[in-house]
């Protein structure tokens, strides 16, 4: 595409607000009938039999929803099943020789591996037998502290096979974070690795693991995966076992899947809490697996013959739901990638899409903004015509990034599903069904069929279209968290107490409050504005940071922005914006003026930035989240807080120096 044509295309798309799915997509989509919304509403909760029917049950469930003890809702009670068997065993006859996982490692093309369903089934059985011999029994929690290596999903499925819940700790987390989570879960078993590759470099992981184990207050038996080989000769202490040795000892062993009650715990996932103590979110076997499977089929349009790629890390809930459990339960091929999008070159992702003929790509707005900044020349080098659907997850995507993704990656021929959900929801809640609904850039879309989401004011009354309010979920759903591990009281107070004065026995009195702000339009499409505490109070006006950031990124030349509040003598707080420009643009007064104009046009003069700081990078955690707290410190001239969790700690001092120079 020439530069002139590219400009014409951008101009043509700029004011377009709706994008209908291509006919070619609708003709093959898993769901194409708009009547599903009325059907699910009229047949609720029995409508969720449709999700349960995607699974094989050892014992049929007796009740779809038991709501007799809200907010401790239970799903598919009386039923039993095994998640590992649903992801592996039942596919062997028809899909045994087909790829289950395509693992792409670093260095590029040096250690890629294909696991067929037969391969995966064999190694999961062998490792399940090894865990059992180490003493792991049903309901023992096994901690998995591992990067994106294939032994991670193998370990997850091995745990599920023997009825042992797993607790995955993101490999980028600190040693203290590992210790905190193992202590909270009373976990006596750990699977980790010696190290992994990042941007071509071998990184040690075992030393960090050892440090973390020093803070665990009970004995632990540890299995170590050898990823680096001769690159890192890691010591093995008493109580530590080599993964390869354990699996070799169990060669050919088959383990009968342990049948789990639908409400038995499948895994714990620890997420950050407002008190500083991580929350152990409990997900169950029947509800979670049915939800991950149904949303994978309905929203991501996954079919067994597809090659599907979610670029998240399995250390987060997205990887649990949409790299491992959902795709494998449907018998498809799931791509795993160890590396980063820009190593060894900035077209690495598109190289993989082309090589593996990926059908669906599910990635984050953070990544898309980086792709925009680097330029469209990188995807242009590759044949991306295999792509049928694109998705985004992790945060709201602004309309400009949405349209870039649609144009340069999807070639205007792929519907985009912009999905809102949380660790606690287990899977998608707000998004368009791609074969049914038009997409609106910047808006996640309507609630999924059977999901009752409303935008309300502080009294719980629904707001008018176009007004901002609080997101609430007014009915339970199968994938929901059941409680916080060993802390039912915190579960109620953090998620359910906002609109219930007493612990009523009526399920209609209980409303799930995800702590996100949102607005709804006249078509029922919901735009998520970010956490309700991500607001700036300017002269008594509460302004959402996400809304201001979206306005800034909508300005030509801006790749990414972060907005925080800074102390102001007259206004109380003022808007401070930190802006990354696209590569061909320079931060200067002309762009600064256009940013101010863009914010005033989109929101009003009250949101006008007090200061705009141009920077080549923003401070981000290893999961890609912007650490706005540090930007607030800079805005207020305060001592910088802890930067140990940043993947780029030096950038904070660079920004501080830039502000000082200005």
**Residue-range domain boundaries for the chain:** 83-95+124-258, 468-528, 534-661
Confidence of residue 660 (pLDDT cuts 50, 70, 90): low
> Which of 447, 164, 166 has its CA nearest to residue 280?
166
pLDDT of residue 4: 39
pLDDT at 5: 46
Region 534-661: CATH code: 3.30.300.30
How does pLDDT run across 193-224, given as a tens digit for each residue? 999 998 888 889 999 999 999 999 999 999 99
From 537, 615, 604, select the one nearest 574 (Cα to Cα). Answer: 537
pLDDT at 276: 55
DSSP for 130-178 reads HHHHHT--TT--EEEEE-S-THHHHHHHHHHHTT--EEEEETTS-HHHH
Strand duo 611-614 + 572-581: pairing = parallel
Contact 382, 350 (CB under 8 A): yes
How many CB atoms neighbour CB 526 within 10 A? Answer: 24
CA distance 183 to 271: 15
pLDDT tens digits for 252-278?
A: 999 999 999 999 999 999 986 544 578
Is residue 533 very low, low, confident or very high in pLDDT (cuts 50, 70, 90)? low
Q: What is the DSSP annotation of 48-84?
A: GHHHHTTS--SB--SEEEE-SSTTS-EEEET-EE-HH
Per mean pLDDT, which range of 273-287, 341-355, 579-593 is the poorest? Answer: 273-287
C-beta of residue 326 within 8 angstroms of C-beta of residue 296: yes
Burial 572-611 (b: 16+ CB within 10 A, else e): ebbbbbbbbbeeebebeeebbeebbebbeeebeeebbbee
For residue 90, give the DSSP letter: G
At how many degrees (to 10) do helices 545-553 and 589-602 cross?
A: 130
In the 8-state DSSP scheme, what is residue 532? T
Kindly state the average pLDDT of the residues 526-530: 85
The yes-or-no verdict on residue 102 having pLDDT over 50 is: yes
Q: What is the pLDDT of residues 609-624, one digit of tens each?
A: 999 999 888 887 765 6
Average pLDDT value over all residues in the chain: 90
Tokens of 642: 């802890």
83-95+124-258 has which CATH code? Answer: 3.40.50.980
Distance CA 649, CA 651 (A): 5
More confident residue, 289 or 603: 289
Which residues does residue 284 pair with via DSSP β-bridges, in sequence order? 265
CA-nearest of 471, 492, 497 to 482 is 492
Q: How far apart are CA 434 and CA 265, in angstroms?
A: 32
Q: Is the pLDDT of residue 305 over 90?
A: yes
In this predicted structure, what is the pLDDT of residue 554?
Answer: 84
pTM of the predicted structure, to 2 decimals: 0.85
Rounded percentage of the chain residues whose pLDDT exceeds 90: 66
Region of 604 please: left (phi>0), alpha (psi -120 to 50) or beta: left
Q: Whose CA is closest to 486, among 196, 165, 160, 200?
A: 165
| pLDDT above 90 (res 116) | yes
pLDDT at 274: 47
Closest CA to 392 of 407, 405, 373, 376: 405
The secondary structure of 340-375 as a DSSP string is -TTSSSTTHHHHHHHHHT-SEEEE-HHHHHHHHHH-
CB neighbours of 501 closer than 8 A, spacing ≥ 6?
none
Nearest to 487 by CA among 72, 24, 202, 50: 72
Residue range 527-532: average pLDDT?
79
Average pLDDT on 116-139 reads: 98
Over residues 442-467, mean pLDDT: 92
Asked if the model's pLDDT at residue 526 lies above 90, the reply is yes
3-state class (DSSP) for residue 428: coil
Q: What does the pLDDT read at residue 502?
A: 55
The 3-state DSSP class for residue 573 equals: strand
**pLDDT tens digits along 1-35:** 344 345 555 555 666 789 999 999 999 999 999 99
Q: What is the pLDDT of residues 55-80, one digit of tens each?
A: 999 999 999 999 999 999 999 999 99
For residue 268, CA distances in Å to 65, 142, 167, 279 come to 22, 10, 5, 9
CA-closest candidate to residue 438, choices 11, 9, 14, 16: 16
The pLDDT of 497-515, averaged and rounded, is 73
What pLDDT sits at residue 587?
Answer: 86
- The CB density around residue 11, as the number of other CB atoms within 10 Å, is 9
Give the model's confidence band at 288: pLDDT under 50 very low, under 70 low, under 90 confident, else very high: very high
The pLDDT of residue 447: 98
* pLDDT value of position 2: 40
Q: What is the pLDDT of residues 467-492, one digit of tens each?
A: 888 899 999 999 999 999 999 999 99
Q: What's the distance, CA 387 to chain centroid? A: 20
């Amino acid at each position: 595409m020439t530069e002139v044509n590219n400009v014409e295309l951008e101009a043509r798309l700029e004011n377009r607000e709706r994008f209908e799915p291509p006919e070619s997509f609708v003709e093959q989509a898993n769901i194409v009938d708009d009547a599903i919304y009325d059907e699910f509403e009229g047949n609720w909760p029995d409508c969720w039999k449709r999700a349960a029917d995607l699974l094989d049950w050892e014992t049929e469930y007796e009740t779809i929803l038991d709501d007799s003890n809200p907010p401790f809702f239970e799903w598919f009670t009386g039923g039993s099943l095994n998640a590992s068997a649903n992801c592996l065993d039942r596919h062997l006859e028809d899909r045994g020789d087909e790829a289950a996982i395509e693992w792409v490692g670093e260095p590029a093309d040096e250690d890629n591996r294909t696991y067929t369903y037969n391969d995966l089934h064999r190694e999961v059985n062998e490792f399940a037998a090894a865990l059992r011999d180490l003493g792991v029994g049903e309901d023992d929690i096994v901690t998995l502290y591992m990067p994106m290596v294939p032994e991670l999903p193998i370990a997850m499925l091995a745990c599920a096979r023997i009825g042992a819940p797993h607790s995955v700790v993101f490999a980028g987390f600190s040693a203290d974070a590992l210790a905190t989570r193992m202590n909270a879960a009373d976990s006596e078993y750990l699977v980790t690795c010696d190290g992994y590759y990042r941007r071509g470099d071998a990184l040690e992981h075992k030393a960090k693991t050892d440090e973390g184990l020093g803070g665990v207050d009970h004995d632990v038996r540890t299995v170590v995966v050898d990823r680096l080989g001769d690159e890192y000769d890691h010591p093995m202490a008493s109580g530590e076992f080599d993964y390869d040795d354990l699996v070799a000892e169990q060669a050919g062993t088959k383990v009968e899947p342990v049948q789990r009650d639908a409400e038995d715990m499948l895994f714990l996932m620890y997420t950050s809490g407002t008190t500083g103590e991580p929350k152990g979110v409990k997900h169950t076997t029947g509800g979670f697996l049915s939800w991950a499977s149904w949303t994978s089929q309905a929203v991501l349009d996954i079919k067994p013959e597809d090659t599907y790629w979610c670029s998240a890390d399995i250390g987060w809930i997205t990887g649990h739901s949409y790299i491992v459990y959902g795709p494998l339960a449907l018998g498809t091929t799931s791509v795993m990638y160890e590396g980063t999008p820009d190593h060894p070159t900035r077209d690495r992702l598109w190289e993989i899409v082309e090589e593996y003929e990926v059908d669906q790509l599910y990635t984050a707005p953070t990544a898309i903004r980086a792709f925009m900044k680097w330029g469209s020349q990188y995807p242009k080098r590759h044949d991306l015509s295999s792509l049928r659907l694109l998705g985004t997850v992790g945060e709201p995507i602004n309309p400009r990034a949405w349209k870039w993704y649609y144009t340069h990656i999807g070639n205007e021929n792929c519907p985009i599903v912009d999905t809102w959900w949380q660790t606690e929801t287990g899977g998608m809640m707000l998004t368009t069904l791609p074969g049914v609904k038009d997409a609106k850039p910047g808006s996640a879309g309507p609630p999924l069929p059977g999901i009752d989401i409303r935008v309300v004011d502080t009294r719980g009354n629904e707001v008018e279209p176009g007004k901002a309010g609080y997101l609430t979920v007014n009915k339970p759903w199968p994938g929901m968290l059941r409680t916080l591990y060993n802390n039912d009281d915190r579960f109620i107070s953090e998620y359910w107490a906002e609109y219930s004065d007493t612990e009523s026995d009526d399920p209609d009195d209980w409303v799930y409050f995800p702590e996100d702000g949102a607005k709804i339009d006249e078509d029922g499409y919901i735009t998520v504005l970010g956490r309700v505490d991500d607001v700036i109070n300017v002269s008594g006006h509460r302004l959402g940071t996400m809304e201001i950031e979206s306005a800034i990124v909508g300005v030509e030349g801006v790749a990414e922005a972060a907005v925080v509040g800074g102390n102001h003598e007259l206004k109380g707080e003022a808007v401070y914006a930190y802006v990354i420009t696209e590569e061909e643009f320079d931060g200067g007064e002309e762009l600064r003026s256009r940013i101010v104009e863009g914010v005033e046009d989109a929101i009003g003069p009250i949101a006008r930035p007090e200061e705009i700081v141009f920077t080549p990078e923003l401070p981000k955690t290893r999961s890609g989240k912007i650490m706005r707290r540090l930007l607030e410190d800079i805005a207020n001239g305060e001592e910088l807080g802890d930067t140990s969790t940043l993947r780029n700690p030096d950038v904070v001092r660079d920004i501080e120096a830039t502000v000082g120079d200005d």
